[in-house]
Amino acid sequence: MKKIVTTSMMMLLVAAGAMAQPKKNVYLFPESGTVCNPMEISLHVQGNGFNPVSYLWSTGETTPTIQITQSGTYTLTVTGQHGNSGSMTTKVRTATYNVLPAADISALTDLWVCKNDTVRLQAVPGYDFYTWSNGASGMNFERKMEGPFLNMGPVLDTLSVSYTATVDKVCSVTSEPVLLRAIRRPEGVGVFYENKMNIRHNDSIPASLVLEYLYPVSYEMSFTEIANPSNTIKYLTAPGSRRAPASILIPGTAYHVETTPIINGVRYCPGPVSTIGIRPSSNRLGVGGFEEQQEMSIYRIFDLSGKMIMEKHAEAFNKDWLNDIAPQMVVIHRTGTTSEVVKMQITK
């Protein structure tokens, strides 16, 4: 991953007469030694006895300051005047630098992990001090991805991480941030299907929603016969879809269901195992022959004051019904062959 590095110079101002005072009044800064990457080298003149007019570096550059990213010896030939004499003189200054690697982040684990798993990162070696954006110090970074982070609420469990590396009293560089993400586990087959043992053969079975991150989520739904665990039927939903047709399952059979989200081709975090059952084939004769008994449920949605917001007659709950309801906590009543009451927080 390419990193963009910014440089901030931290120059040491040395009081007159101090031991660190350079012996020459015209010198390069830094004078030599280990430096950041990139690093600015510039000409310094103490006092007003020399006025530079032109610059020529061993790199061919003609500016007072250059930026280096490679270790080596650098020479500046500078021409200038002494005071007001008008006489020109040439000075040559040379310094050798050990340029450290550019500030980069190495991932010791995946950057996207299941929620509550731990991400580990490492900075490049060689610098004197490291400070991470969350306040941690040292070359290594470790964080349990509990989320949500940065007051972002339920939308994305993300954390942006960077670090600043310092060469003591010389320079510092800051890495480009990397984005860490905690992938939530699906919660099963949904509140109105969990433990439902009379699902119709022409119905569809939803995977509980996982956040839609940067890519549409597909779901691999594994249906394992409870009476015959060696028989597992797998169904992969299309990206952005989260329903498997019950027609792929055997009538009169109970299944354990496990759902795994797939994001940008990568499998993540299977959810808890749910239990469902497919209704046996019916022998009731309909108009066109044998058909299954129709099962319609009534779904009523109330606000917390008890006012009914919506009523729907359907075979299964459809979360899209909530799209036109303002964010709030609602109570959903389902009546049919069985009755259910669910509280749900609507967010946008």
pLDDT for 295: 59
- Per the domain annotation, does 252 fall within a domain? yes
Residue 198 lies in a domain: no
Residue 73, C-beta contacts closer than 8 angstroms, at least 6 positions apart: 58, 94, 95, 96, 97
Helix (H) or strand (E) holding 26: strand 26-29
Give the pLDDT score at 17: 32
In a shared domain, residues 20 and 50: yes
pLDDT, residue 133, reads 94
Amino acid letter, residue 167: V
**pLDDT computed for residue 8 by the predictor:** 38
Tokens of 312: 């729907």
Residue 191 lies in a domain: no
The reply to whether 330 and 279 lie within a common domain is no
Give me the sign of the Cα torsion angle 143, 144, 150, 156.
positive
State residue 284's pLDDT score: 41
Among 151, 183, 215, which residue terminates a domain? 183
- 70 and 42 assigned to the same domain: yes
Identify the burial level of 269 via C-beta atoms within 10 angstroms of its C-beta, where 0-12 means exposed, 13-18 middle and 19 or more buried.
buried
Note down pLDDT in tens along the chain; length 348 residues. Answer: 434 343 333 333 333 333 333 457 889 999 999 999 999 999 988 877 788 999 999 999 999 999 999 999 999 999 998 877 778 899 999 999 999 999 999 999 999 998 889 999 999 999 999 999 989 999 999 999 886 554 444 445 788 999 999 999 999 999 999 999 888 888 888 777 888 888 888 888 888 777 666 678 899 999 999 999 999 999 999 988 888 999 999 999 999 999 999 988 889 889 899 999 998 875 443 333 334 444 577 888 888 888 889 888 887 778 788 888 888 888 888 776 556 677 778 876
Q: Verify that 11 and 92 share a domain, yes or no.
A: yes
Look at the chain and report how many structural domains it folds into.
Answer: 4
Q: HSE of 168 in the Cβ direction (CA atoms, 13 Å)?
A: 2
pTM: 0.66
Distance CA 25, CA 16 (A): 12
Same domain, 167 and 229: no
Q: Tell me: cis bond preceding 30? Omega within 30 of 0 counts.
A: yes
Residue corresponding to tokens 């970074």: 141
166: region left, alpha or beta (phi > 0 left; psi from -120 to 50 alpha): beta
Note whether 11 and 94 are same-domain residues: yes
- Helix (H) / strand (E) element for 232: namely strand 232-236
338 domain residue, yes or no: yes
Domain stop point among 99, 133, 164:
99
Instruction: Tell me the residue range of the domain where 211 lies.
Output: 204-290
Residue 78 tokens read as: 């500078």
The pLDDT value given to residue 230: 95
CATH of the domain at 273: 2.60.40.10
Question: Would you say 234 and 224 are in contact if contact means Cβ atoms under 8 Å apart?
Answer: no
The answer to whether residue 190 is domain-embedded is no
Do 95 and 109 fall into the same domain? no
- Judgement on whether residues 91 and 109 belong to the same structural domain of the protein: no
Choose one of 99, 118, 139: the last residue of a domain: 99
Question: Is 55 contained in some domain?
Answer: yes
Q: What is the 3-class SS of 174-210, one letter each residue?
A: ECCCEEEEEECCCCCCCCCCCCCCCECCCCEEECCCC
Q: The domain that contains 144 carries what CATH number?
A: 2.60.40
Looking at the fold, whether 29 and 73 belong to one and the same domain comes out as: yes
